[in-house]
Amino acid sequence: MLTARRRRSERLALRRSGSNNHNLAGRNRALFRALRLEKLVTALFIGLITFVAGLNILVVLAMTVTDRARDIAVLMSLGPTAIRFATFLFCKDSQ
């Protein structure tokens, strides 16, 4: 009974003040702004983490290709046949 009277008095006070804050979004506008900002910041951080991870993968691949290019140049200077060359590369990868 007390809460019903309190609600009624709050509604009357809102009507008298001319405020249009009788719905959930109106009463909690600051909370919803904070939630929207938190969602934006979270999305930005996740995007940044994804970008750094992708960049890390690209750098590792580039270093691997550079290292492999040196190995291939040394092997080609020794003059192996194509079959021996392929066999050596595949056996080296399996180790």
Each residue's pLDDT, cut to its tens digit, for the chain (95 residues) gives: 567 777 777 777 766 655 555 677 777 888 889 999 999 999 999 999 999 999 999 999 999 888 878 877 887 888 888 888 778 777 765 55
Number of domains in the chain: 1
Q: Which domain holds residue 27?
A: 2-94
Decide: pTM greater than 0.75: no
First to last CA, the chain: 79
The vertex-13 CA angle with 10 and 16, nearest 5°, equals 150
Q: Are 75 and 88 in contact (CB under 8 A)?
A: yes
Q: Are 16 and 9 in contact (CB under 8 A)?
A: no
Q: Count of alpha carbons within 13 Å of 17, Cβ hemisphere only? A: 10
